[in-house]
Copies of this chain bind each other. A is one copy, B any other.
Amino acid sequence: LASEQGTIAIIGAGSWGTALSIALGSAGRRVAVWARRGELATAIGRGRRNPEYLSKYELPPTVRATGDLRDAVTGAAFVILAVPSHGMRAVCRQMVPHLSDRQAVVSGAKGLEHDSGKRMSEVILECFASRPRRAVAVLSGPNLAPEVAAGAATATVVASEDGEFAAEAQAALGTERLRVYTNADVLGVELGGVLKNVIAIGAGVSDGLRFGDNSKAALMTRGLAEMTRFGVAMGARPETFGGLSGIGDLVATCAGRQSRNHMVGFELAKGRSLDDVLSDMSPQVAEGVETTRAVVRRAASLGVEMPISEAVHAILFEGIPAADAVTSLMTRAGRDELED
């Protein structure tokens, strides 16, 4: 495949961009990873590690770092966007003059645009107006970055409406350790990665309150149900939420040991303030916080019931104590399981 010959550009040198660079580079792919700050790119190039993220892993020799966006994308068959969602539109605008429509763009971000509530693939398509809709793919799944960097066996999904493009991306990005599945339901795959962060904050609250595995399992079950309701109301396929980018990512994120979103809930349950938790985490972000705002607003306009997301919203933004919000959720009158 021609696509296997070209470089893969990874835009963003945070933990996900760094992990992907290591995973793809270790499989012999030529990777250019772009860091927004030139000094970070220089430090990576010099030390052969990213000093700020996953610093214990060496970059394979096939990976080079650059602070120049044009340099990063030139000649790349695939451009993977691994930036936080709040930075996506600005980075895409910067890329426009340097990218041809023949270069494939893949979104690896799991959030919504803050004010508009738009999905990342929508933002990308708006920036690259001449690009056909199907030429933007989404990469999502249970892909905790530290494990991907460590070479742990991981499965992920590339979603594109164009089966041929999806198969090309599968060949270009899949390795022995990073198994890539395809899915034509771009909307469902993208929403799974977005919505699970909200439920993961709730799971973190449950764990922070020491509610136990029974409670957390019930919360995740009902969380997946509301993710699916929301997705279906938006036009996604319900089966997608039963797959790697839905339940798979939900399970990996709610396990908790490695998720920033889970950590936010966990710390809030201990009585800390949101500002305090987020400033400790900076410059890293927990995408689920702003996502909760956008999702609850959109759910209201769609008329979709999302009690867990609403409880997370109440904890994050309405000053409701975590224990009260989760307790009222757990004691909510339930009758028939399939009607609730």
Identify the closest chain B residue to A221 (Cβ).
B248
Neighbour of A142 across the interface among B144, B218, B327, CB < 8 A? B218
**B182 with A144: CB separation less than 8 A:** no
Interface bits A111-152 vs B (CB < 8 Å: 1, else 0): 000000000000000000000000000000111100110101
A252 is an interface residue with CB less than 8 A from chain B? yes
Identify the closest chain B residue to A143 (Cβ).
B214
A309 is an interface residue with CB less than 8 A from chain B? no
Neighbour of A221 across the interface among B143, B147, B251, CB < 8 A? B251
**Oligomeric state, in number of copies?**
2
Given the known interface contacts A183-B336, A258-B213, A338-B243, the answer about A251 and B220 at a Cβ–Cβ threshold of 8 Å is yes
Minimum distance in angstroms from A91 CB to a CB of chain B: 26
Neighbour of A155 across the interface among B150, B157, B184, B214, CB < 8 A? B214
CA distance A244 to B185 in the complex (A): 26
Given the known interface contacts A213-B144, A239-B338, A340-B181, the answer about A155 and B218 at a Cβ–Cβ threshold of 8 Å is yes
**A179-220: which residues lie under 8 A (CB-CB) from chain B?**
179, 181-185, 211-218, 220
In this complex, the interface size class of chain A, counting residues with CB under 8 Å from chain B, is: 35 or more
**A311-340: which residues lie under 8 A (CB-CB) from chain B?**
327, 330-331, 334-338, 340
A31 is an interface residue with CB less than 8 A from chain B? no
Given the known interface contacts A221-B243, A244-B221, the answer about A336 and B152 at a Cβ–Cβ threshold of 8 Å is no
A298 is an interface residue with CB less than 8 A from chain B? no
10 cross-chain CB contacts under 8 A: A144-B214, A147-B213, A153-B214, A153-B218, A154-B212, A176-B331, A228-B242, A240-B338, A251-B251, A255-B255
Question: What 7 new A-B contacts, CB under 8 Å, besides A155-B334, A225-B242?
Answer: A150-B212, A155-B330, A170-B335, A176-B331, A183-B336, A217-B244, A221-B242
